[in-house]
Amino acid sequence: MKESISKRGIECVGNECGRSSDTLQLVDTLEAGLGLDSLGRIELVMDLEDEFNIEIEEDRVYGNMSVAQLIAFVEKVVREGEDGDSAMRTFR
């Protein structure tokens, strides 16, 4: 499942920044590396929430966060949600 989360998360990032997920590198940062401004990061958060049926506070995803950090963060939110009873998972 971890690989699936990683692949799907990277696809969300690629879709939001208008790049093929194959061209993304885990060290790319959301703002400087991929050009996502604050609105782009909010849209990315919404995409991730839809993709994984989770809730993320927008301020948890910041500009100098790398793709690897973002994927690890999403994996943690999903994993913590699997341990709970609710269908909707929230990380604050």
Quick check: 66 and 29 in contact, CB under 8 A?
yes
Q: What confidence category does residue 88 fall into, taking pLDDT thresholds of 50, 70 and 90?
A: very low
Distance CA 46, CA 40 (A): 10
Domain 2-91's class? mainly alpha
Distance CA 74, CA 56 (A): 9
Q: Tell me, what's the pLDDT at 1? A: 56
What's the chain's average pLDDT? 89
- The residues spanned by each domain of the chain are 2-91
Compute the average pLDDT of residues 65-83: 93
